[in-house]
Amino acid sequence: MREPRFWYPENRDSVPLASRLLAPAGYLYGLAGRIRRGSGTPERAAVPVICIGNVTTGGAGKTPVAMTIASHLVGKGEQVHFLTRGYGGREIGPIRVDPAHHGAEDVGDEPLLLSQIAPTWVAANRPEGAAAAVRGGARLIVMDDGFQNPSLTKDFSILVVDAAAGLGNGRLMPAGPLRERVDDALARTNALVITGRGHAADGIAARARARGLPVFNSIVRPPVSIQLGDGPYVAFAGIGRPEKFFRTLRDIGVELADAISFPDHHPFSDRDARALLVRARELGARLVTTEKDAARLIHAATASPRARLAEASETLPVRALIADMDRLMELLSDAVSRARRR
Given the DSSP bridges, would you call strands 156-162 and 120-122 parallel, antiparallel or unpaired?
A: unpaired
Task: Name which of 2-6, 86-90, 168-172 the model is least confident about.
Answer: 2-6
Residue 263 counted as domain residue:
yes
Q: How many domains does the chain have?
A: 2
Same domain, 288 and 240: yes
pLDDT at 225: 67
pLDDT at 44: 96
Same domain, 55 and 188: yes
8 pLDDT more than 90: no
Same domain, 312 and 325: no
Residue 1 counted as domain residue:
no
- Domain range enclosing 116: 49-220+321-341
Same domain, 215 and 249: no
Same domain, 197 and 310: no
Residue 190 counted as domain residue:
yes
Q: pLDDT for 263-295, tens place per residue?
A: 988 989 999 999 999 999 999 999 999 999 999
pLDDT at 70: 97
Q: pLDDT for 202-238, tens place per residue?
A: 999 999 999 999 999 999 888 866 778 787 999 999 9
Euclidean distance between CA atoms 162 and 160, whole angstroms: 7
Same domain, 306 and 326: no
Residue 303 counted as domain residue:
yes
For every residue of 301-323, DSSP letters joined together read PTTSHHHHHHHHEEEE--EEEET
Same domain, 191 and 54: yes
Same domain, 204 and 333: yes
Backbone CA torsion sign across 106, 108, 113, 119: negative
Residue 34 counted as domain residue:
no
CATH of residue 303: 3.40.50
Same domain, 176 and 284: no
Residue 31 counted as domain residue:
no
Euclidean distance between CA atoms 179 and 147, whole angstroms: 10
Euclidean distance between CA atoms 313 and 301, whole angstroms: 16
pLDDT at 58: 74
Residue 32 counted as domain residue:
no
CATH of residue 96: 3.40.50.300
- Tell me the pLDDT of the chain averaged across its residues: 92
Same domain, 190 and 284: no
Q: 224 versus 178: which is more confidently predicted?
A: 178
Average pLDDT over residues 307-329: 94
Residue 64 counted as domain residue:
yes
Percent of the chain with pLDDT over 70: 99
Same domain, 166 and 194: yes
Task: Name which of 192-196, 237-241, 309-313 the model is least confident about.
Answer: 237-241
Same domain, 92 and 239: no
Residue type, 3: E
